[in-house]
Chains A and B, each alone.
Chain A
Amino acid sequence: MFETKIYDIPDADIAWCPGCGNFGIINELKTALAQLELEPTRVVIVSGIGQAAKMPQYVRTHMFNGLHGRSLPAAVAVKMVNPELVVIAESGDGCSYGEGGNHFIHTIRKNPDITNIVHDNQIYGLTKGQASPTTARGQVTTLQFDGVYVDPFNPIAVAVALDASFVARSFSGNFDLTVELIKQGIQHKGYALIDILQPCVTFNKVNTYQWYKENTYILPDSYDPFDREAAFRVATDNSKFALGIIYRNPDKPILEEQLAPYKKDKTPVAYRGLIQ
């Protein structure tokens, strides 16, 4: 295992609030990268905009910090051009499921070999406390004074419905589980969604550390993630959030492997025409 400090940006001025769930996730991500012994030069973290999307600012790897909602198209393109890189698309629930909802659907269909980490704190942080696509119905926010009057988006159920090749959920407060799921997501060949529940200590007074402890459960060893119907039942059970690998389909073709330039020559398009 590498030391996690190789991923540190020494004098980074971190913009997260004290106690933010993002601090858990950054440690979990660095630990997963270190355990997989991935050189920083092999990893590209692509993000959108938001507090979660600041992640690559603080992790020493390649970084593409693009536009709000657009982390997935950018990540897919990077993987297509250089399949040898480990590509992680990382952003929050607003960026990934709201602004970028269309890309979420179609990236699952495309099935590139990338890992999509979504920090899901069920609220908008950077814009100061409005509802996100995953905020519960009825929750009062800084904008929805009478409570949210639409149903929340269910990313896990959508991903299972679209037959995504790897669907997992974690909680930022569970270090070992999150590290393990990120590792498995990176090692999985194909698109991997890891939705990480995370408290927003400043703007979400409902979904706190305590609330997540009480309202999540870890899937038992007997659970079969290859059973799509079971996965759909777990995904649509609104009483408690299931944590772990909810669904896997290892038989899907990989997007980049089907592209014209790679039919005869595996050299990444990125390196063609360059002097090695």
Chain B
Amino acid sequence: MNDLFFEKPAGEISIVLSGAAGQGIQTVEYIFTKVAKDSGFYVFATKEYMSRVRGGNNTTELRISEKPVYAYVDRIDIVVPLNNNALERIRKRISEKTIILGSPKYVEGEKNSIPVKFEEIAESFGNKIYANSVAIGVLSGIIGADEDKLIQNISEHFQKKGEKIVKDNINAALKGFEIGKTLGLNYEIKPDEKVRSQILLNGSVAVARGAIAGGCNFISSYPMSPSTAVFTELSRLSNEYGIIIEQAEDEIAAANMAIAAWYAGARAMATTSGGGFALMTEAMSLAGMIETPVVVHIGQRPGPATGLPTRTEQADLNLVLYAGHGEFPRIIYAPGNLEEAYLLSAKAFNMADKYQIPVFLLTDQYLLDSFYNIDEFPEIEIERYVVKTSENYRRYEVTDDGISPRGIPGYGDGLVRVDSDEHDEFGHITESSEVRIKMVDKRLKKTQKILEDFEPPKLFGGDEFDYLVVCWGSTQQIVKEAVEKLGNEKIAVLHFSQVYPLHSSVKKYFEKAKKTIFVEQNATGQFANLLKLEFGVDTSTRILKYSGYVFSVEEVAQRILGEVEKDV
């Protein structure tokens, strides 16, 4: 254990709220992060929770900083227990320096405890349930947030409940605020004016907003954690953006509807998780055969089967890579941060339309449930490839690049005939082996062109590296911060946000590295295996985690250091 990794950096604080489901942790997280952001602090929040509606133990980590923070850390500077056994599950993360702040009955007997009578204070303003507002006030006081931002956010949140409740909550929060300022915890975090005008959102909202930016106007899905929030956000915005919302009877229907919606002229997606996607795989094969675009977002959680429904993993790459019988091209994106989630979600629609293939967006619970502040997203140009058909239209006209102009029914004089059987250029069923070979070649030929739109991996760190740490998807910022912590210029990070297909230009990174270290949130190193298969990369060094809990910055730093020290 390298204690250095657990030192609190200046200008930053890590706060953890721990309690049972239904106690209002999310309300505190939601309002407090907004108060902090509006006051000019960089904010990062992520939660881990049990698969239950009431009880159990859930925690939320809130990092408040004067510099950008985008990743989960183990270190806890202040923990707020909200019930009796709130500290047991996170005991390992509590150090000598962790301050335990909470109601006297929950902090009793703990070292470094600061009792605050949340309930009593709340009751003095009329109701015990204002305790959450007291807590928001205390935390806002500790970080030195703006009093007016506290008042504004509390009042916006409770607005619908009437004037009296707004007033009581404000008073409770202000009392907490006063206490927070006088606890003697002087964390000096300087606000950054730029942050105030930024937006605060999580991965789910980033994916949904990216979809809208990419022209999404149809979503058919079946609810499944952790992917449902994308569906909910699109539904919330359906009137504003003219989106067809279909809660299908099952994932099989959802996938077939999304494909048929593209056939008819929509820009459609489905959102699901591994188990639901397993049901969609036959439909992916259909999309491959009839060369109809489709976008599927898969928010990963640990399997097999029901697995750990509310936790995180990156173990469905193989599922998505090989989903569907037969051979057909596809693209898989795995965004590493919120901006990439937005951009790649939008790009997925453009690429699906351009190449008439399934395009997958592979995220996970950690990315979807993590919030931070970010600049307003840029506008994206919606690329449309639908053509007006003429009378003798051939849906599967053989062209040089394998892409046949795609018509839709009712737009032009042609007939749009698509067939899941092998077919000729008109879409008519055939058993001719000549036509079969021509059509397989046509479909697979698209892969070469798809690589022209390859999203290159990002290198973090200098070019003069000996050690290359490779990651993909949601762990980008965790690995990046871990390597920054190590402060060794011989170590660089290479992050892939497009995991398939891979352009051969990426080989240069592996040729240059003396040692390549793979970091993956799964038990078998699925991406490492893919790179080995594609380019013969040495993938013998792997840092894997499959407990269901996300990697922390400290843990990755330690394990990378362990690999580097082996060679010394």
Contact = CB atoms under 8 A, between A and B. Distances in A.
Interface of A: 9, 12, 40-42, 44, 46, 49, 54, 56-57, 60-67, 69-70, 72-78, 80-82, 84-85, 102-103, 105-106, 259-261, 263, 265, 268-275
Given A80-B218, A106-B253, A270 B408 contact: yes
A61 B415 contact: yes
A184 to B, nearest CB: 23
28 contacts: A9-B428, A41-B409, A56-B417, A61-B415, A62-B416, A65-B419, A73-B248, A73-B252, A73-B260, A74-B257, A77-B246, A77-B259, A77-B260, A77-B261, A78-B261, A80-B218, A80-B264, A82-B410, A259-B245, A260-B245, A261-B244, A269-B218, A269-B242, A271-B265, A271-B411, A273-B215, A273-B382, A274-B411
A74 B252 CA distance: 11
B256 A57 contact: no
Contacts of B265: 81-82, 268-271, 274
B386 A49 contact: no
A56 B429 CA distance: 10
A82 B218 CA distance: 12
Nearest to A12: B428
A14 to B, nearest CB: 11
Contacts of B218: 77, 80-81, 269
Contact of A41 (B215, B290, B415): B415
A81 B262 CA distance: 9
Contacts of B242: 260-261, 265, 269, 272
Contacts of B489: none
Given A78-B260, A81-B244, A44 B409 contact: yes
A269 B265 CA distance: 7
Given A64-B263, A67-B420, A81-B261, A260 B244 contact: yes
Q: What 6 A-B pairs come out closest when comparing CB atoms?
A: A270-B265, A74-B260, A81-B264, A261-B242, A106-B249, A77-B260
Contacts of A69: 252
A82 B409 CA distance: 9
Contact of A80 (B244, B252, B286): B244
A40 B413 CA distance: 10
Nearest to B283: A67
A76 B421 CA distance: 21
B256 A74 contact: yes
B239 interface: yes
A192 to B, nearest CB: 19
A67 B264 contact: no
Given A63-B416, A270-B264, A273-B215, 15 more contacts: A44-B409, A54-B429, A61-B415, A62-B410, A66-B420, A69-B252, A70-B252, A73-B220, A73-B256, A76-B246, A77-B220, A85-B409, A270-B266, A273-B382, A274-B265
Contacts of A272: 217, 242
Contacts of A74: 256-257, 259-260, 263
B62 interface: no
Interface string B267-294: 0100000000000001100100010000
A64 B418 contact: yes
Interface string B343-362: 00000000000000000000
Contacts of B411: 270-271, 274
Contacts of B419: 57, 63, 65
Given A44-B409, A49-B420, A62-B417, A70 B239 contact: no
Contacts of B258: 77
A55 B250 CA distance: 26
B250 A102 contact: yes
A76 B259 CA distance: 11
B238 interface: yes
Given A66-B420, A74-B260, A85 B410 contact: yes
A42 to B, nearest CB: 7
B477 to A, nearest CB: 35
A65 B260 contact: no
A209 B382 CA distance: 56
B93 interface: no
B339 to A, nearest CB: 25
A43 B413 CA distance: 12
Interface in B376-421: 382, 384, 386, 388, 408-411, 413-421
A76 B257 contact: yes
Contacts of B414: 41
Contact of B246 (A80, A102, A268, A274): A80
B144 interface: no
B253 A103 contact: yes
Contacts of B302: none
Contacts of B415: 40-41, 60-63
B260 A64 contact: yes
A56 B426 CA distance: 13
B417 A42 contact: no
Nearest to B248: A73
A230 to B, nearest CB: 29
Contacts of A265: 242
A77 B257 contact: yes
Given A67-B256, A102-B250, A78 B263 contact: yes
Contacts of A85: 264, 409-410
A70 B253 contact: yes
A261 B283 CA distance: 26
A64 B256 CA distance: 11
Given A44-B409, A81-B266, A261 B420 contact: no
A67 B286 contact: yes
A188 B560 CA distance: 67
B243 interface: yes
Contacts of B246: 76-77, 80
B147 to A, nearest CB: 41
Contacts of B249: 102-103, 105-106
A40 B260 CA distance: 19
A117 to B, nearest CB: 17
A268 B418 CA distance: 21
- Among A46, A64, A82, A261, residue most surrounded by chain B Cβ atoms (within 10 Å): A64
A275 B411 CA distance: 10
Contacts of B410: 41-42, 62, 82, 84-85, 268, 270-271
